[in-house]
Amino acid sequence: MKTRGSRQVFLGVLAVAVLVLAWVVVRAAQGPSAPSGSAAPGASSTGPSVSGTAGSGATDPATDPVSGLPWVAESALPAPARETLALIRAGGPFPYPRSDNRTFDNRERLLPPHTTGYYREFTVVTPGSADRGARRIITGSSGERYWTDNHYGSFRRIREGT
């Protein structure tokens, strides 16, 4: 009887250990997240921490309530960025096929945290640049799109069709 009880205790402890390990793996894959009751990454109680941008967080119509980032109208983007959006909608072809439509890892952690592979990166051609330049559009699997003109130093959420 003692052996059977010991085996049940062992299996119970093993099951708990497997659940804890699975939880840790899932949390690690999702990336860091803010503790309960604290501001989301890139946001504070006074608004998003975006250089040169003032805002009041989710109540500010100029700020995306999901990401905490400022909105930018599609029509306000430079022409090459609007052309890149059109290529994304059409599925390509893209000017840098070895680099475009590849996973964006969000290493800077300025976009909302998601699992690896959620974000894709697209080059926005910079006329006169000898390389890909610093301008990118990042897309999320749920359809959201972000603009950076400073190689991931900051982002703005694109408000499409405006």
Would you name the residues annotated as active-site residues? Answer: 121, 151
> How would DSSP label each residue in 23-46?
HHHHHHHH---PPTTSPPTTEETT
- Beta strand extents in 43-155 (DSSP E only): 43-44, 47-48, 71-73, 102-104, 119-123, 136-140, 145-148
Amino acid identity at 134: A
